[in-house]
Every structure is written in structure tokens, then in C-alpha cells.
Amino acid sequence: MPTPSRATPRTPPARPKPPAVGARTWTALVVVGLVGQLAWTVENMYLNVFVYNTITDDPNVIALLVALSAITATLATMLIGAASDRARRRRPFIAFGYILWGLSTAAFGFVQPDAAPGVQPAATAVVLAVIAIVLLDCIMSFFGSGANDAAFNAWVTEATVPANRGRADGVLAIMPLMAMLLIFGALDPLTQAGQWRLFFGIIGALTAVIGIAAWFLIRDSDSIQTTTDGYLTATLHGLRPSTIRANPRLYLTLVAWAIVGTSTQIFIPYLIIYLQRYLRIDGYALILGSVLTLAAVISVLGGRVIDRIGKRRAIVPGTALMIVGLIGMFFVRDMLPIIVFGTLMMGGFMVSTAAISATVRDHTPANRVGMIQGLRMISAILIPMVAGPFIGAAVITGANETYVDLGVVKQVPTPWIFVAAAAVAVFVVIPVALLKRRDNASHGTHTGTVDA
């Protein structure tokens, strides 16, 4: 009698390969996305440095600037997002929006206290400069958010599918880092030399040129859907309590985004000033360049992991990595340790943001893609950029660290901003735990749409 052969182990079914994103789509995603982030880097970081160096060192002015910009950007995204839904077109909003965005960015260089001849006393000139820069920032934010946050992000959702959104958002997540890296490497010497008009002019011109290029590069999806709601009803649909109750996964994910975003906005507006003035590191551009390059690698690799293990499962590990980096930043003072923990901080932030962003796209209904961008802005921009900078300003004021510049005593950011950021980031476990509970209860099935 023959000896029974050992049973051949069953090979698990191969995981289907995610559908590829076309070359034209990748080109538009990278080029338009990167240049948009160049303009946002100027507004989010260098505009703060410009105000600090040339107008006032009061951290509350910076916090006010960031907050009003965030409010304007959110309103623009809601209005333009709903308008692009009704028009069933994204391309014109992207192209013309980028052109106007670039022109308004270039105008920053013309705002300075000494730009108002004959105004006395000097304090009055400072007040007028603050008012001018705030108004111009709001105008720039309206054009930028309408073009980028509303129309471009809606186009990305329609140009991708759930199976490849982790990779797409992983690449998009590194765009802010790459933008910072390019500006630090190529244009930061202009800011250190005080050539702000040329600095803003270069970025503004590039943004406008890409707006022209976007008209020829981007193609609207043939499947863009819209609703029969009136314009105002469509704009405000996502804020209705009934919509929130019908879509718990979407709104829990948005809460997680607000927490992570608020954490980062506690330190990002003051990061360059911290490196320059508190740590007194002249070569901060080298630090930031190294951190951003390494964090970008983590983000791209993390995008592939997100598609494999699941988006919700990647949120907490990514945030935990960011928290480790934040705690490390509180203690380190030398260049190499700063690069190590800065990489963990920014890399973790990028991975968690990519996972959250892709999850939101998965829960976006086809007929309200533009409207959802307004909700994204509330969670990713409005709440973080209103709450975060004021938390950071309160920490800076409470620490009361100062330095003397040409006989003038100025406040300076301290390492406690990183501790405050870590404390806020920990709360992301709450919405993620609730998401997990709902996923377990429904055995992974998707229930509810934003049209409920």
C-alpha cells in the first residue's frame, strides 16, 4: 500500500494589484500639486518669517494672520467646491485660480512699514502694514484654496480609485515637504538677504505659469456627477446634523484629521524662528532639507503600506511615530539629533495624513466631491490653523524666553511647543477607536452616504 503523500499546503490567493494611475494623471498630480505647495509654503511659513523680521515680533499677530487665512481658505473651498460640482468641471477653477493665486502671492513683497511714506509715528506704519498683510493674505488664500483645496483635490478624488489612493495620497503628502526643500535650497538665501520682493515674485510667477499649464494638462472626468440642490443648500449640505448622523465614518475621520492638524500647527508656524533664534543654528536650511528628504521617503513607502494594511489601521502608528519625534525635539539641541527626530516627526505626520486623506476620499460620494473638500478644509485647515497657532503663541508667551536684536528685546519660541503638540496628537486614538468599533460591528461593510 503506497504511503500517503503529505498534503500540499494551500497557497493564499494573490492580492489583486491596484489599478495603475496613468502617466498624464501622475504628471498633473505631481506638477500642479507641487507648485501649489510651493505657494502654500510661502504663505504658511515664510510669510510668518517676513512679518516677524520686517513688521512685528508679536506671536499673536502671526497667530491672527494664520487664523484669518484659514477661515478665508475654508469659505473659499466650500464656495468653489460646490460651484465646481454644479459646473461639473474642475479645470477652469484650477487654471484661472492658480493664475490669480500667483499674482496675489507676488504682491506680498510690496507690503512693508516703510512702504507708506510720511506716516508717523512708526507704530502707525506698523499697524497699517499688519492690516495690509492680513487683507492680502486673505485674498491670496481665497484664490489658492479655491484652486487647490477645492478644485484640484476634487479632481484627484475623481482621477483615483480606493485601491490606489494610498499611493496617490502618499505622494501628495510629500509635496509640502518637497516644496519646503526646494524653497530652502534655492530661495532661502533671498530671505536671509532681505530680498523679499524678489522671493515672493519668483514663487508668484511660477504659480501663475503652472495655472496656464494646468489648462492644457488636466482633463476633467467624464463621470463627474452633481446634485439638484440649490447652490447654497449644496454648499452647506455637509454641515447638516442629519448628514453627520448618517455618515459617522466620514466625520470621525475628519475629527482625527483635525486633531493631527492642530498638533502640527502648534509648532510649524514658529519652526524656522525656533531654529534661527532659540537654537541659533545658522545652517537650519541643511537641517530642514535633510529632514524633508528623509520624511518624503518615509511618506512614499508609507503610501504603499497604507494600501496593503488598510487606511484606518495606519493612522495611529503614523501618529505615534510623529509623537516620538515631537518628544525628541524637546530635548535635542545639536544638528544630527534634530535631523533624526525631525525626520520621525515629519515622516509620521505625512503617513498619518496620507492615511486619513485617503480614508476621506473613500467615503466621498460621487455627486458631492467638491462639497466634501469644504469639510476637509474645516478639519485639515480651519480648526488646526485657528487653534494650533494660538496654543503655540500661549506656550511661547508663557515661557517668556527672549533675546536682544539691535537693542530690541524680542520673544522667541521655545521647545515646549513640541510638548504641547505631542499632547494634542495623543487624542487621535479616540476617533480611531470609534472607527474601529464601527468597522468591527459592521464587519467591514460600508453604510451611509453623504446624501442620506
Residue range 119-165, pLDDT digits in tens: 444 677 778 888 888 999 999 999 999 999 899 988 888 888 777 77
User: With bands split at pLDDT 50, 70 and 90, how would you rate the model's confidence at 272?
Assistant: confident
> Which pLDDT tens digit goes with each residue over 237-269?
888 898 888 888 899 999 999 999 999 999 988
Per-residue pLDDT for 117 more than 70? no
**Cβ-contact 363, 249 below 8 angstroms:** yes
Amino acid at 162: P
Q: What is the reported pLDDT for 428?
A: 96
Higher pLDDT, 410 or 116: 410
| Residue among 42, 26, 27, 85 at smallest CA distance from 236 | 85
* pLDDT score of 204: 95
Mean pLDDT of the chain: 83
Q: Hey, how many other C-beta atoms are within 10 angstroms of the C-beta on 7?
A: 6
Least confident interval from 163-167, 185-189, 369-373: 163-167
Report domain 23-442's class: mainly alpha
Q: What confidence score (pLDDT) does residue 14 get?
A: 47
Q: Which residues of 182-216 are buried (b: 16+ CB within 10 A; e: fewer)?
A: bbbeebbebbeeeebbebbbbbbebbbebbebbee
Cα separation, 373 vs 361, in Å, equals: 10
The answer to whether the CB of 150 falls within 8 A of the CB of 81 is: yes
pLDDT of residue 406: 55
Residue with more model confidence, 118 or 111 = 111
Q: What is residue 122's predicted lDDT score, i.e. its pLDDT?
A: 65
Confidence (pLDDT) at 13: 47
Confidence at residue 7, expressed as pLDDT on a 0 to 100 scale: 44
Dist. CA 284–CA 280, nearest whole Å:
9
> Does residue 331 surpass a pLDDT of 50?
yes
pTM: predicted TM-score of the whole model, two decimal places: 0.74
Least confident among 5-14, 57-66, 132-141, 381-390: 5-14
Band of pLDDT at residue 444, cut at 50, 70 and 90: very low
Please report the DSSP string for 233-280 in residue order: HHHHGGGSHHHHHH-HHHHHHHHHHHHHHHHHHTTGGGHHHIIIIIS-
Q: Is the dihedral of CA 59, 65, 68, 74 positive or negative?
A: negative
Predicted pLDDT at 336: 94
Instruction: Over range 76-95, report the average pLDDT.
Output: 90
pLDDT at 392: 92
Give the highest mean pLDDT range of 68-72, 157-161, 165-169: 68-72
pLDDT greater than 50 at residue 5: no
Q: Is the pLDDT of residue 6 over 80?
A: no
Least confident of 16-30, 72-86, 172-186, 434-448: 434-448
Q: 182-191 long-range CB contacts below 8 Å, 24 or more apart?
A: 182/38, 183/38, 183/41, 183/42, 183/46, 184/285, 184/288, 184/289, 184/292, 185/285, 185/289, 188/285, 191/46, 191/49, 191/50
Q: What is each CA distance from 417 to 269, 291, 330, 432, in whole angstroms?
A: 11, 18, 8, 25
Amino acid at 132: A
What are the extents of the domains in the chain?
A: 23-442
Q: What pLDDT is stored for residue 21 in this prediction? A: 64
* Spatial distance between the Cα atoms of 356 and 329, rounded to a whole number of angstroms: 24
